[in-house]
Homo-oligomer: A and B are copies of this chain.
Amino acid sequence: MTKDRLYIYDTTLRDGQQTQGVQFSTPEKHQIAATLDALGVDYIEGGWPGANPTDSDFFAEAPKTKAKFTAFGMTKRAGRSAENDDVLAEVMNAGTKSVCLVGKTHDFHVETALGITLEENQENIRASIAHLVAQGREALFDAEHFFDGYKANPDYALACAKAAYEAGARWIVLCDTNGGTLPHQVFEITRATIAAGIPGSHIGIHTHNDTENAVACSLAAIDAGARQVQGTLNGLGERCGNANLTTLIPTLMLKEPYASQLKTGITDEALRHLTQASRQLDDILNRVPRKQAPYVGASAFAHKAGLHASAILKDPTTYEHIDPERVGNARVIPMSNQAGQSNLRRRLAEAGLEVAPDNPALPMILDEIKRREAEGYTYDSAQASFELLARRALGLMPEFFEVKRYKVTVERRKNKYDQMVSLSEAVVVVKVDGEKKLSVSESLDGDGSDRGPVNALSKALAKDLGRYQALVDEVKLVDFKVRITQGGTEAVTRVIIDSQDAQGRRWSTVGVSANIVDASFDALLDAVNWKLLRDSGEV
Contact = CB atoms under 8 A, between A and B. Distances in A.
Interface of A: 18-21, 23, 25, 27-28, 51-54, 74, 108-109, 112-113, 177-180, 182-184, 209-216, 219-220, 223, 235, 238-241, 244, 247, 251, 255, 284, 286, 288, 290-295, 297-308, 310-311, 314-315, 318-322, 332, 334, 336-338, 370-371, 373-374, 376, 378, 380-381, 403-414, 420, 422, 424, 443, 449-455, 476-489, 491, 493, 513-518, 521
Contact of A247 (B211, B290, B294, B454): B211
Given A18-B304, A293-B240, A337-B23, A450 B514 contact: yes
A21 B451 contact: no
Contacts of A409: 407-410
Contact of A516 (B212, B403, B453): B453
Contacts of A178: 319-321
Name the prevailing secondary structure of the A interface residues.
Answer: mixed
A454 B454 CA distance: 14
Given A52-B374, A178-B321, 5 more contacts: A54-B337, A112-B315, A238-B308, A450-B513, A476-B489
Contacts of A380: 20-21
B450 A518 contact: yes
A404 B411 contact: no
12 contacts: A52-B374, A54-B373, A109-B318, A178-B319, A180-B321, A238-B304, A404-B413, A449-B514, A450-B515, A452-B516, A453-B517, A478-B489
Nearest to A518: B422
A209 B370 CA distance: 28
Contact of A298 (B20, B180, B216, B291): B20
Contacts of A301: 239
Contacts of A381: 20-21
A515 B304 contact: no
Q: Which 4 A-B pairs have the closest CB atoms?
A: A180-B321, A216-B216, A452-B515, A405-B413
Nearest to A183: B216
A112 B518 contact: no
A380 B21 CA distance: 6
Given A321-B211, A478-B489, A493-B482, A412 B422 contact: no
Given A25-B376, A215-B213, A240-B293, A483 B486 contact: no
Nearest to A405: B413
Which of A19, A27, A182, A378 has the most C-beta atoms of chain B within 10 angstroms of its own C-beta? A182
Nearest to A318: B113
A337 B52 contact: yes
A396 B122 CA distance: 46
A181 B182 CA distance: 18
Contacts of A321: 178-180, 210-211
Contact of A180 (B179, B215, B255, B308): B255
Nearest to A411: B407
A452 B514 contact: yes
Nearest to A246: B212
A165 to B, nearest CB: 23
Given A182-B255, A300-B210, A514-B450, A307 B239 contact: no
Given A112-B318, A451-B515, A212 B177 contact: no
Contact of A378 (B23, B210, B308, B479): B23
Which of A21, A315, A405, A413 has the most C-beta atoms of chain B within 10 angstroms of its own C-beta? A21
A406 B414 contact: no
A55 B303 CA distance: 19
Nearest to A492: B25
Contacts of A305: 18, 238
Contacts of A302: 20, 239
Nearest to A114: B311
Nearest to A258: B182
Contacts of A483: 286, 482-483
Contacts of A516: 452-454, 482, 516
Contacts of A223: 184
A303 B239 contact: yes
A425 to B, nearest CB: 10
